[in-house]
Amino acid sequence: MSASDNFHFVDGEGLDTAAAYRLIVGCVVPRPVAWITTVDGEGRVNAAPFSSYNYVATSPPMLGVNIAARAGDGAMKDTARNILASREFVVNVATEATMEAMHGSAQEFPPEISEAEALGIDLLPSRHVRAPRIAASPVQMECRLDQVVPLGRGVNTLYIGEVVAFHLSPEIYDGSRVDSVKMRPVARLGGPFYAALGEIIHRPMLQRPPGGEGWTGVGKEKA
């Protein structure tokens, strides 16, 4: 099979930050949203969404979120500052039902203003960390900071936290598995766009994952 190479070529070496950002967030889609709650030294609750986020380990469960410096002045964002100071945070899953509040919390509030108070976001106390949970989220994960990894030219920093507690709505969790469809999560695309799950495509698992989620033995090697 032959193919013609008629692709646009963009050399990654020397790309400025703005151009690199437009490319990477347009190419890496959809991205789950980590709606993070933290507490500052004065007890104010910060709530902010970040879409450069995923799980990075399963034993123990760990999440990684990349928090960039502010685009205007390069200052550290409130969430990053609070995580460094407290070494704790909560990741709340953003859903279709919470999207407007989540999106609203993305605006740059002054440090002395709590997004939760300003936007009327109801909170619940956590069990192991000081930061509260967002009540409307069906999945809330309490995290303790494990590693801080500076990346690239210093604009981005990866914060890795161990999940020390899961809080799961009975509407999406049956005691064993999370129903992602019932959760109705939202994801970030490039530019001013979000996406819902859309069409769900089923394929049998070809390798047994930890815990056996979705495993039926199809595709296993014969002895």
**Which pLDDT score is estimated for 223?**
39
222 — pLDDT class (breaks 50, 70, 90)? very low
Share of the chain above pLDDT 70, in %: 95
* Segment 18-29 mean pLDDT: 92
Given a cut of 70, whether residue 146 has pLDDT beyond it is: yes
- Cβ atoms 88, 40 nearer than 8 A: no
Q: Concatenated DSSP letters for 200-214?
A: ------SSPPGGGTT
Rounded distance, CA 182 to CA 185, Å? 9
218 — pLDDT class (breaks 50, 70, 90)? low
Compare 99 and 204 and report the one with higher pLDDT: 99
**Which pLDDT score is estimated for 155?**
92
Q: Concatenated DSSP letters for 103-114?
A: HHTTS---TTS-
**Which pLDDT score is estimated for 207?**
84
Compare 156 and 212 and report the one with higher pLDDT: 156
Question: Which tokens go with 82?
Answer: 């609070």
- Domains assigned to the chain: 18-212 (2.30.110.10)
**Which pLDDT score is estimated for 1?**
62
Give the closest residue to 21 by CA, choosing from 152, 150, 187: 152
Strand 187-188 relative to strand 156-168: parallel, antiparallel, unpaired? unpaired
Most confident range, picked from 102-111, 127-136, 204-213 = 127-136
Please provide the distance, in angstroms rounded to a whole number, between the alpha carbons at the two ends of the chain: 35
83-126 residue pLDDT tens: 999 999 999 999 999 999 999 999 989 989 999 999 999 999 99
What is the overall mean pLDDT for the chain? 92
**Which pLDDT score is estimated for 215?**
65
* Segment 164-185 mean pLDDT: 96
